[in-house]
Amino acid sequence: MGSIRIKRIYQEPDPADGYRVLVDRLWPRGIKKEDAHIDLWLKDVGPSDGLRKEFGHDPKKFDDFAQAYRKELQQSDAVQVLIDAAGEHDSMTLLFGAKDEEHNQAVVLNAYLNARLST
């Protein structure tokens, strides 16, 4: 299994990114699809619209959001796609569009995947 990391999609692509997966349900503003340099857009692994709107990128709501999102991930078939990809690639980068690099779904998803892969 390779390493998994997270990165804003607005940052320059790097060969060290490896397999690049956009994990946002919505396409990031201002990014042309041909300029995104992604290998996969896995919309279904992103938080539900209701959960995303409830969170609203408010850091004060992050802990509740993370708990609810982990519950969604437990029911998501898309998680297995990422687990399989992690086994097939030396490195994988989960891409997200949020400005806050500490309080977003990719942080939760990365921790969730690493916990699943370490068992």
Among residues 16, 72, 79, 73, which one has the least CA distance to residue 42? Answer: 79
| Domain count along the chain | 1
Tokens matching residue 67: 């708990």
State the residue for tokens 């709501």. 61
Give the domain range for residue 47: 3-117
Give pLDDT tens digits along the chain (119 positions).
Answer: 578 999 999 999 999 999 999 999 999 999 999 889 999 999 999 999 999 999 999 999 999 999 999 999 999 999 999 999 999 999 999 999 999 999 999 999 999 999 998 87
- Note the pLDDT of residue 3: 87
pTM for the complete prediction? 0.93
CA distance 35 to 31: 7
- Note the pLDDT of residue 1: 59
